[in-house]
Chain A
Amino acid sequence: MPTDTLSRTLHALADPTRRAILARLRQGTATVNEIAAPFPVSLPAISKHLKVLERAELIERGREAQWRPCTIRPEPLREAAAWVERFRELWEDNFRRLDALLETMQAPQPPDTPSTPENES
């Protein structure tokens, strides 16, 4: 089990159901039943996902109410988003240069090396 915040966040985000749960919670606090409703999996399975999210501090669960409503906590997500953004920006920058290079590779002849295809010797 990952121990640092970023790893816990990424681990929690690596599962599509958990990402969907978080997407739902971005719209507002919800109970377990409300969260589980759109998913084709059992309530215990959803509870397990919620535990992972809670351990990663991606959600908070109410203490007083017996239905323990879940609320999203944005801080670890922001940290993960910043990390991913850094990674993404770096590569997008690389790949824009690669686009330009690939375009020149597809050009039939570079303009500075004139050669006529019919009389090659």
Chain B
Amino acid sequence: MTSRTRRPRSKQTIEHYLLSEHQLEQMYETMLLARRLNERMLALNRQGRAPFFIGGTGQEAAQVGAAMALRQGEDYLVPYYRDLAMNLVFGMTAREAMLNLLAKRDDPHGGGRQMPSHWGVAARRVVTGSSVVATQLVHAAGIGLGAKMCNDPIVVLVCCGEGSTSKGDFHEALNFAQIHRLPVIFYVQNNGYAISESTEKEMPIAHVADRARAYNMHSASVDGMDAIAVYQTVRPAVDQARRGGGPFLIEARCYRLGAHSSDDDDTRYRPRAELEEWTSKDPITLFRHRVETDQIFPAAELDEIEARITAEVQDAVEWAANQPDPEPEDALGFVYRE
């Protein structure tokens, strides 16, 4: 790990951003770390060192901007399998991300019992999930119900892709949450694709956010490639939910820059021109351009962050590769909780 030698960051909120210098740096660092981890994970898969990879490249702004609007350690995060960057905001390290990818014994997300990217650490209030899409949305409603019954001022942020919004559990969850005005943010990362199916094959409406009308629910649709805009949209919704104002459906319009997973070949169905167009809107490039232009951080400092992250990812891979694998008989444990 490289040491940090840099000027202290102000925690004072900057007008027009609703974020402090300190938070903006965290935003950039986390997005970049997620991107570099995802790139390295795919490389490890292609080298035959990880059987499976599923990532969130292109969705870093949507994830970091939303997760930073929550109180880490207090609020509940119910992620889906692309939310690496959200988990980083909630306390996951690069080393831990690699433990999870490589299904090592000490991976805190189940120690190799699930595919990588199926996160859950109770102490962090990151809730375990499966590969079945949309089932987690009703769990989020249940957590919100428990909190409401206990007068506990927490907020639950639950994530899914736009593909999940066609499933029954999506509708059952929104319906239930609005009836009881539960403190739940339903956060849909509309990345344009459910594996190979583009959105017009998935739903007869243009915007996921329009689905909220059926439930008389507050909703918003935000540019998910802009981390600052995402934060500025999610934060007021979180504050409102915490005050008892009920749930919110937020759609972050983003783009899946990678294939669905390491087993998918997106060239079979995705036009190259479309991918190129969205690549030009890369959320990390956009963010860097903005904070440089606004003179929040000089380019040299951003370069320094980049170098530090590259080293951090390298360290994580080397460290995780040397951690123990599970024993075969570990498969038998914890069927029931004692």
Genuine A/B complex? no
Residues of B at under 8 Å CB distance from A? none
- Where the two chains meet, the residues of A that have a C-beta atom closer than 8 Å to any C-beta of B are none
